[in-house]
Structure 1
Amino acid sequence: MLKLAKNRISSWAIVGAVIFMIIQVISNLYLPNLTADIVNNGVAKGDVNYIWQTGIKMIAFALISIVASIGNVFLAARSSQKLGQNLRSDVYAKVINYSHDEMDKVGTSSLITRTTNDVTQIQNVWMMILRMMIMAPIMLVGASFLAYQKNQTLTGVFLISIPLLALFILLIMRSAVPLFKAMQQKTDNINLVFREGLTGVRVIRAFRQDKFEQDRFETVNQDYTNNAVKVYSIMAMMFPVMTLIMSGTNVGITWWGGHLIASQALETGNLIAFMTYAMQILMSFMMLSMIFVFIPRAQASAVRLNQVLDQESSIKEPTQTQSFTDTKPALAFDQVDFRYQQAEKPALSDVDFAVTGGQTVAVIGGTGSGKSTLVNLIPRFYDVEKGDVKVNGVDVRNVDTKALRDQVAFVPQQANLFTGTVRDNLKYGNENATDDQLWHALEIAQAKDFISANPEGLDYAVEQGGGNFSGGQKQRLAIARALVKDASIYVFDDSFSALDFKTDAQLRKALSEDDNIKTKVIVIVGQRVSTVADADMILVLEDGKMIGKGTHEELKANNPTYQEIIRSQIREGDED
């Protein structure tokens, strides 16, 4: 946890919080001594002036204690919140630069939990450290010393109460700490099921699996609840037992102190002060016990956050980078193999092709044949296991990732739109794009009509996830966003699937006729033969292997798999 706090929190704030806490504790420790003086020297002797003078001193020390407490709380709160802010920023910055491998390894739901719940645990405990952990030992030592000064005999009471208190705290910790650690994993499970339910709500309703998903959520929710009830029930025992021990200590001090007062071995004011110090000693133990219970849970959260922050990306930046000296667009796969983490067999094997600017390469094949995997290698979302992927003549592993992705405009299978406006979404890849460029991209993507039909035009509001657009509209806007970017390679990963045949044809025709786009490399992943038929080169994939390469006419004549795809998509008698 200290590793997380390093360089994310001001050392001056910590020093200030410690100084204020020391002042507060000293003031609190001095007040019982003044109370004893009032009783011994004022009340017992009937000296009203002494009572007033000492009372004013008590007020002054109480005010000092209040001011110091406010200062400590302010700095502690500011430090803990700043730590939380920096942690969230660092985790987000780290995650946003993860490769797909790391995202798959950790999981989206777990990352959300770590960025929210785990950071909150660290914040809360850091606040406790700057408050209780500083206060408790100082007060414990100071109150013990002052209590011993008041009467050495009465300190014998602590030989019974403190071991009892320590034993009880130990039992609480042994029972509660493992349960607190388990709560973080159970929180992950709740987030996982809840997130899947929210993102897949349409599928759930379509297949009438509402009851199944409710039961599934109820299972993980009940598991978390049972764990939480158990741990907080154990924690709930702490306060009544602590109160019982503290009350028993008070009874013992009062009984024993009464005998000492009767034998004139102790003054009444000193007994009152001793009882106050006794409560401060026991309260210190109580605060320490709370810290020792909650720190392990925070430590578990710290381990989870460090796992995210220390995770090395599988995508390594080259030590010596090359630049794109050749401005002519080109794409080449040279005997490429790729395997997902811990997969038994490669997802792609021996993929080999090359295209240059002005050419379109299409990829077709059955579900799971490796089409999306292939195009994900172009912007280096994954690294190849064997062979080379070259963009504009340069191996993608020898160029800075940012520079590489500046050369690639990518339209993923899932059309993701962000909350804001159409303008905001379209300028995502080119923040300097003019309105004319935005409208031109919309026109090519066949999205101009439904955007211009809205009075707000480019300022048309986009709801979360593009919820106010249909599937086809979202796809066309995602395509337009890619077209706004001035890139060497335009990748369309099954991006025409939600379009009807007419719109699909119009969009591909507009792409081929645009003066800028037609000089670039276009990569199209498609399911329909009509989408890929006009490509200069078609790659046919099956089980990750490239079993065909050529034009539509060549594959139609010679490739059995391509012929089978054609037959599956046309009616009898429509072969031509």
Structure 2
Amino acid sequence: MLRLAKGRISYWAVVGAILFMVAQVISNLYLPNLTSDIVNNGVETGDVNYIWRKGGEMAIFALISVLAAVMNVLLASRASQRLGANIRKDIYRKVINYSHDEMDTVGTSSLITRTTNDVVQIQNVAIMALRMMIMAPIMLIGASFLAYQKDHTLTQIFVIVLPIMVVFIGLIMIFAVPLFRKMQQKTDNINLVFREGLTGVRVIRAFRQDDFEQKRFEGVNQDYTHNAVKVFSIMALMVPVMTLVISATNIGIVWWGGHLIAAQAMNTGNMIAFMTYAMQILMSFMMLAMIFVFVPRAQASAVRINEVLDQNSPIDSKADAKNFDGTTPELQFDHVEFRYRHAENPALTGANFDMHAGQTLAVIGGTGSGKSTLVNLIPRFYDVEQGAVRVNGIDVKDADLKELHKTVAFVPQKAVLFAGTVRENMQWGKADATDDEIWHALEIAQARDFIEEEPDGLDYMVEQGGANFSGGQRQRLAIARALVKPASIYVFDDSFSALDFKTDANLRQALKDDPDISSKVVVIVGQRVSTVADADEIVVLDEGRVVGFGNHEELKANNETYQEIVSSQIREGDEA
């Protein structure tokens, strides 16, 4: 936790919170002493002036205590919230630069929990540290010393009380702390199921799996609930037991102090002050117990957060990374082999080809053949195991990542749009893109017609995820966004799948007719032969292996896998 706090917490707020807490504790410790003086020297002697004078002092110290408490809470809250905000910011910065491999390893649901619930645990302990963790030891030591000053005989009662409290607090920690640690993992499970349910709500309804998903969510929810009920039931024992201990201690003090007063060995005011100090001592123990219970939970959260922040991705820019200034569009796969983490067999083997400016490369194969894997290596979402991928003559491992991503325009399988206007979405490709450039890209992507139909045009609002567009419209907008971007290589990862044949053909023809794009390297992943047939070169994949490379006519004549794909899509008598 200290690692997380370093450089992320407001130090001036921490120092201020500590100083105000010390002032509050000193004021609270001095008040019982004033009460003792009023009783001993004012009430017993009937000195009203003394009572008013000491009462005024009590009011001043009480006011100081209240003001110090308010300032302590204000500064502690500021420090803890600043800490939480900085941790969340650093997690987001780290995660946004994760490779696909790291994202697959940690998992989206777990990252959400770590960014929200785990950070809240750290914030809670931070404010607890600046409140209880400072107050408890100071008050414990100060109250013990002042209680001993009032009457050293009565302090013997703590020899009985404190061991009982230590044993009780120890038992609570033994049973509660492991359960608190489990709660974070169970929160991950709830987020996972809930997120899947929200994402796939249409599929769930279409297949009438509402009851199944509700039972599934109820299962993880009940698991979390049972764990929470156990841990908080254990914690609930603390208040009544501590109340019992405090009450028993007060009874013991009154009984024993009464005998001392009767024997004129102790003043009444001293006994009242001693009772207050005794309560402060026991409350300090109670606060320490709360700290010892909640700190391990926060420590578990800190470990989970540090796992995210300490994740060192091998996919990063080198100190001497190369840029692409003045390079010619070119794409080369040099005997590439790739496998996913912990996989036994390679996901891609035998990729060996060159593409030059003005050429179009198509990638085709069955489901799970490795088409997306191949194109994901171009912008270096993953690193190859053997061989090399070169963009414009530079090995992607030697290139600066930001420059590489500027050089490659990528349209993923799933068309993702963001809440905002159409213009704002298009400007993801080029921040200073003009309206003319955007309309030109929309025209190539066959999206201009339905955007022009909207009264707001480029200012038409896109809902989250592009929910107010059809699947084909989302794909065309995602393609247009990539076309706005000035790149050397344009990659379309099965991004024509939701388009009808006519729109597909018009879009591909528009790509060829555009003088700027036609001078670059275009990579198209497709399932349909009609989508890839007019490409300059076609890569045929089968179960992760490159089994063919050539143009449509060559593969149709000589490649068995390609022949099977063609025959499965084109009826006998038709021409491909």
What does 1:242-321 align with in structure 2 at a 5 Å threshold? 242-321=242-321
3-state SS, counterpart of residue 237 of structure 2: helix
The equivalent of 1:52 in structure 2 is: 52
Structure 1 contact 315–383 (Cα < 8 Å) conserved: yes
**1:326 Cα deviation from its structure 2 partner:** 4.2
**1:450 Cα deviation from its structure 2 partner:** 0.7
Letter in 2 for 1:561: T
The equivalent of 1:508 in structure 2 is: 508
What CA deviation, in whole Å up to 9, does each residue of 1:436-460 have, x standing for no partner? 0001111110011111100010011
The equivalent of 1:106 in structure 2 is: 106
Moved more, 14-23 or 278-287: 14-23
**1:12 Cα deviation from its structure 2 partner:** 1.9
Q: Between the two proteins, what is the percent identity of the paired residues?
A: 73
**1:81 Cα deviation from its structure 2 partner:** 0.1
Structure 1 contact 100–381 (Cα < 8 Å) conserved: yes
The equivalent of 2:170 in structure 1 is: 170
What CA deviation, in whole Å up to 9, does each residue of 1:114-168 have, x standing for no partner? 0000000000010000000000000000000000000011111111111111110
* C-alpha separation in 1, matches of 2:265 and 2:173: 41
What does 1:299-378 align with in structure 2 at a 5 Å threshold? 299-378=299-378
The equivalent of 2:499 in structure 1 is: 499
The equivalent of 2:488 in structure 1 is: 488
**1:71 Cα deviation from its structure 2 partner:** 1.3
Structure 1 contact 101–314 (Cα < 8 Å) conserved: no
* C-alpha separation in 1, matches of 2:517 and 2:32: 83
The equivalent of 1:231 in structure 2 is: 231
* C-alpha separation in 2, matches of 1:208 and 1:14: 55
Structure 2 contact 421–461 (Cα < 8 Å) conserved: yes
TM-score by length of 2: 0.99
* C-alpha separation in 1, matches of 2:479 and 2:173: 57
Letter in 2 for 1:491: V
Letter in 2 for 1:544: G
What CA deviation, in whole Å up to 9, does each residue of 1:218-248 have, x standing for no partner? 1111100000000000000100000000000
**1:324 Cα deviation from its structure 2 partner:** 2.0
**1:11 Cα deviation from its structure 2 partner:** 2.0
Letter in 2 for 1:48: V
**1:325 Cα deviation from its structure 2 partner:** 4.4
* C-alpha separation in 2, matches of 1:159 and 1:409: 74
* C-alpha separation in 2, matches of 1:40 and 1:429: 81
Structure 2 contact 10–83 (Cα < 8 Å) conserved: no
Letter in 1 for 2:207: F
What CA deviation, in whole Å up to 9, does each residue of 1:525-569 have, x standing for no partner? 000000000100001000111111111111111111111111111
The answer as to 2:450 corresponding to 1:455 is no
The equivalent of 2:206 in structure 1 is: 206
Structure 1 contact 429–481 (Cα < 8 Å) conserved: yes
The equivalent of 1:216 in structure 2 is: 216
* C-alpha separation in 1, matches of 2:120 and 2:321: 40
**1:66 Cα deviation from its structure 2 partner:** 1.0
Letter in 1 for 2:411: V
**1:323 Cα deviation from its structure 2 partner:** 2.5
The answer as to 2:394 corresponding to 1:394 is yes
Letter in 2 for 1:232: F
CA RMSD of aligned residues (A): 0.8
3-state SS, counterpart of residue 59 of structure 2: helix
Unaligned runs of 5+ in 1: none
The equivalent of 2:182 in structure 1 is: 182
The equivalent of 1:442 in structure 2 is: 442
* C-alpha separation in 1, matches of 2:386 and 2:332: 14
3-state SS, counterpart of residue 572 of structure 1: coil
**1:318 Cα deviation from its structure 2 partner:** 1.9
Structure 1 contact 370–543 (Cα < 8 Å) conserved: yes
Unaligned runs of 5+ in 2: none
* C-alpha separation in 1, matches of 2:318 and 2:124: 40
* C-alpha separation in 2, matches of 1:423 and 1:230: 53
What CA deviation, in whole Å up to 9, does each residue of 1:240-280 have, x standing for no partner? 00000000000000110111111111100000000000000
Matched residue count? 576
Letter in 1 for 2:416: N
What CA deviation, in whole Å up to 9, does each residue of 1:416-437 have, x standing for no partner? 0011111111000200100000
What does 1:20-99 align with in structure 2 at a 5 Å threshold? 20-99=20-99
* C-alpha separation in 2, matches of 1:318 and 1:338: 21
What does 1:91-170 align with in structure 2 at a 5 Å threshold? 91-170=91-170
* C-alpha separation in 1, matches of 2:570 and 2:512: 25
3-state SS, counterpart of residue 397 of structure 2: helix
Letter in 2 for 1:218: E
What does 1:545-564 align with in structure 2 at a 5 Å threshold? 545-564=545-564
Structure 1 contact 326–392 (Cα < 8 Å) conserved: no
Structure 1 contact 102–314 (Cα < 8 Å) conserved: no
The equivalent of 2:534 in structure 1 is: 534
